[in-house]
Amino acid sequence: MRPGAVVLGGDYQGLGIVRSLGRQGVPVVVVDDERSVAAASRWTTRSVRVRSLRGDEDVLAALSGLSALSGLAGLSGLGGPDGWVVFPTRDENVAALSRHRSALRSAGWRIPAPQWDCVRVAWDKRETYRLARKLGVPSPRTWFPLDEDDLDEVDLSAPVIVKPAIKENFFYATRAKAWRADTRPALRRHFARAASIVPPGEILVQEMIPGDGQYSYCAFVRDGAVVADMTVRRTRQHPSDFGRASTFVQTVALPGLTAPSLVFLREIGYYGLVEVEYKRDPRDGEFKLLDVNARTWGYHTLGRAAGVDFPWLLFRDQLGEPVAPASGRAGVSWIRVATDLPNAALDIRARRMRPGDYLRTLRGIDTEAVFSWRDPLPGLYEVALLPYLAVKRGL
């Protein structure tokens, strides 16, 4: 028997990992610090609720508790956690696993997160943009102010955004990804507000690229080479301005994103699943790097519909089993109805979108984030959870 997997976080992203591995007969334990849809899946072997998964000690305590669970050994032919693969779904969990990678591997866990020297470049956006600039990978102009006096250096000939270098420290306090500033008073106001939440050195000011041309290069990378990949256009997101999560995504043929992504990932010696986010700048036509997510991403189940089952490939690779190269085919679509519909209603009301244009995108959807005829309970559970999720984290 193969060993099993532990999924940290049971939202729709975690549900996708559960379904990917469960279909292959892999026992999967879901660990979460909130009510989540993955617990209702037919392929979840066991669901464990913990107090928190935000800090390093929380993650270590959760895995230590799993090792002691009676019956865990019976889920796998190897016994205990030996050989089990841990899948993180949040950036702070990736950081925790990466920082304690050696100790966790010594305890018997398989940790697909890279070394911390690699992960910190994606974790800290100051490092991300500095490395992109060094490598010649296009990215938005970015300032790193330490105090309000440094804001005088910011070019306000076009709108800018104020955002954190380490988004988790900021997001849990604000539920926002960034704030827009069109004037210098607004810039100072947003900077002061951000400085009351995170240290000033963690605040970035970045030019706001106009338009909605958001794209991502998604891949499984090993030894500096692409094992599997797909390129997508993130057509809609929630909220519409600075989206915390995609709500409607389609695969596209855009090979030009492969080279800059690999230049960046090879430089840091990256291993594993990764989403590299870009935005096309209509002013010069360049695709500019916005973010690097060192984990599965929210819409990763689009990969399976397009012919690339990313979690399953990573699991096999962690066990030393052969992995065949794959590339996602273009023209496949993914939607998360629970956030796409209400967000579209707001956009239609604000006349940012026409009803007919929206309805046309719903024809021929290939996969939904949660609902599945083969595994219907998570979809029903999500409906019941909507009020809870709206209060807990705005969906």
239 Cβ contact list (under 8 Å, min separation 6): 343
Q: Nearest-5° angle of CA 51, CA 52, CA 58?
A: 110
Q: What is the helix (H) or strand (E) element at residue 371, kind and residue range? A: none
Q: What is the pLDDT at residue 200? A: 81
Domains and CATH numbers, the chain: 5-120 (3.40.50.20), 141-207 (3.30.1490), 214-393 (3.30.470.20)
Q: Give me the DSSP letters along 244-281.
A: SEEEEEEE---GGGHHHHHHHHHHTT--EEEEEEEEE-
Whole-angstrom CA distances from 163 to 87, 169, 279 are: 27, 11, 16
Per-residue pLDDT band at 229 (split at 50, 70, 90) = very high
pLDDT for residue 68: 67
How sure is the predictor about 385, in pLDDT bands with cuts at 50, 70 and 90? confident
Give, as one character, the DSSP assignment of residue 394.
-
For residue 294, what are the CA distances in angstroms to 14, 44, 73, 92, 98? 15, 24, 29, 10, 10
Q: With DSSP H G I counted as helix, E B as strand and the rest as coil, what are the percentages for the chain, rounded to 5?
A: 40, 20, 40
Instruction: Read off the pLDDT of residues 315-364 as tens digits, 9 standing for 90 and up.
Output: 999 999 999 999 999 999 999 999 999 999 999 999 999 999 999 999 98
Distances (CA, A) of 116 to 9, 94, 122, 394: 21, 9, 10, 31
| pLDDT of 218 strictly over 90 | yes
pLDDT digits (tens, 9 = 90+) for 147-168: 999 999 999 999 999 999 998 8
Residue 54 to residue 35: CA distance in whole angstroms:
15
Q: What are the residues whose beta carbons fall under 8 Å from the beta carbon of 99, sequence distance 6 or more?
A: 56, 116
Q: Which two tokens stand for residue 193?
A: 């507000």
pLDDT above 50 (res 394): yes
Q: How confident is the model at residue 376 (pLDDT cuts 50, 70, 90)?
A: very high
**pLDDT (tens digit per residue) in 169-215:** 788 888 888 999 999 999 999 999 999 999 889 999 999 999 888 99
Instruction: Determine the pLDDT at residue 173.
Output: 83
Token readout for 32 is 């979460």
Taking the whole predicted model, whether its pTM rises above 0.75 is answered as yes
Phi, psi of 248 (to 5 degrees): -145, 120
Q: What is the pLDDT of residue 149?
A: 95
292 DSSP β-pair partners: 276
Chain segment 296-321, per-residue pLDDT in tens: 999 999 999 999 999 999 999 999 99
How does residue 393 score in pLDDT terms, banded at 50, 70 and 90?
low
| C-beta separation of 140 from 209 below 8 A | yes
Q: Of the candidates 46, 82, 85, which has an alpha carbon nearest to the alpha carbon of residue 67? A: 82
Is the link from the previous residue into 140 a cis peptide, with omega within 30 of 0?
no
Please tell me the predicted confidence (pLDDT) of residue 77: 41
Pairing of strands 203-207, 214-222: unpaired
pLDDT of res. 172: 81
Confidence at residue 392, expressed as pLDDT on a 0 to 100 scale: 65
Task: Give me the pLDDT at residue 379, please.
Answer: 95
Predicted confidence at residue 75, as pLDDT, reads 53
- Span 52-111, pLDDT tens digits: 999 999 999 999 988 766 455 555 443 446 789 999 999 999 999 999 999 999 999 999
**Mean pLDDT across 385-389:** 79
pLDDT (0 to 100) of residue 395: 58
Give pLDDT tens digits for 120-132. 999 999 999 999 9
Q: CA 347, CA 354: separation in Å to the nearest integer?
A: 8
Closest CA to 251 of 218, 273, 274: 218
* pLDDT in the model for residue 72: 54
Laid out side by side, the sheet with 5-8 consists of: 46-49, 28-32, 5-8, 85-88
Q: Where are the beta strands (DSSP E) in 69-146?
A: 85-88, 142-143
